[in-house]
Amino acid sequence: MSLTFTHPPHPSERLQRSSPLTLAIHGTEETAKDPHAFPTFDDQSFMIPQSPVLYLPPLLSSLPERLQLPPLTSSDSPPLVTETRLPDIDPASLSLHKALHHFRPIVSNYAATPYKEAFNWSNLRLPKDEEREWYCVVFRSKRTPGSDGGSLYDADKKAHDEAIRNGGLILYWYGIPNQETGMNLATCIWQSRRHAIAANSRPHHIQAMKLAAQSYEIYHLERYILRKVAGEGGVTIQPYQSGEVGW
């Protein structure tokens, strides 16, 4: 199960520049980015990434499709709406959404680091009375040198928007390929495993997966449970074994 919108360039294709990852790890990026802004999908954003991307789907979107607005009268102006719909979200997931605004890697070589050691999980704090589990998917990848990702960029953009419309996506983060190995890491956090599986079955995601098979030399998936227990303020990461996660 995966979302596929991350395309690490081969090290030989990267421009020489100071490492933005060091700035990102220490929370001192040169330019503050809106984590709710839809990521840019083009050859520049993926072939020559300037910094890791943290994307938290905005919760202030159009109403869910199941909630119909009253019919407009002739004197009414049509309301301005976003392209994506507001998903259902529970209080604990909303607390996690807020905490994840501070989500960041704590090591530079996160693509080769165990998931629970690569990010600042210990700094994420939620209300102690809340209890919840969320479903995480990790993508470790290396792009095939010289592969043409043009059609994949477009497919990824559509798959990303499709996933947001599907609902349940709390976070999407992708990093910068390691300059020596070319390996990269991306991750998604979902309200539930069912949300992730539903997004996987959408047509744009299926098309993106087919194209990804032609563009990657290495592509590994890992699955985890992000757990918050009542009485504790922090969260833990555990490997996913089986069964449903979240709701």
Structure confidence by residue, pLDDT tens digits, 51-76? 788 888 765 445 555 555 455 455 44
Indicate whether 66 belongs to any domain.
Answer: no
Indicate whether 21 belongs to any domain.
Answer: yes
Phi, psi of 181 (to 5 degrees): -100, -20
Among the listed residues 28, 53, 61, the one whose alpha carbon sits nearest the alpha carbon of residue 177: 53
Buried b (16+ CB within 10 A) or exposed e, 76-91: eeeeeeeebbbbebee
Indicate whether 89 belongs to any domain.
Answer: yes
Instruction: Note whether 116 and 237 are within 8 A (CB).
Output: yes
Indicate whether 1 belongs to any domain.
Answer: no
133 or 19, greater pLDDT: 133
Residue 91 above 80 pLDDT?
yes
Q: Is 121 exposed, middle or buried (0-12, 13-18, 19+ CB in 10 A)?
A: middle
3-class state of residue 111 by DSSP: helix
Residue 240 above 50 pLDDT?
yes
Supply the CATH number for residue 99's domain. 3.30.70.100
Indicate whether 167 belongs to any domain.
Answer: yes
123: pLDDT confidence band, cut at 50, 70 and 90? very high
The domain total for the chain is 1
Indicate whether 221 belongs to any domain.
Answer: yes
Indicate whether 17 belongs to any domain.
Answer: yes
Residue ranges making up the domain that contains 165 = 11-30+39-60+84-239
Could you tell me the pTM of the whole model? 0.71
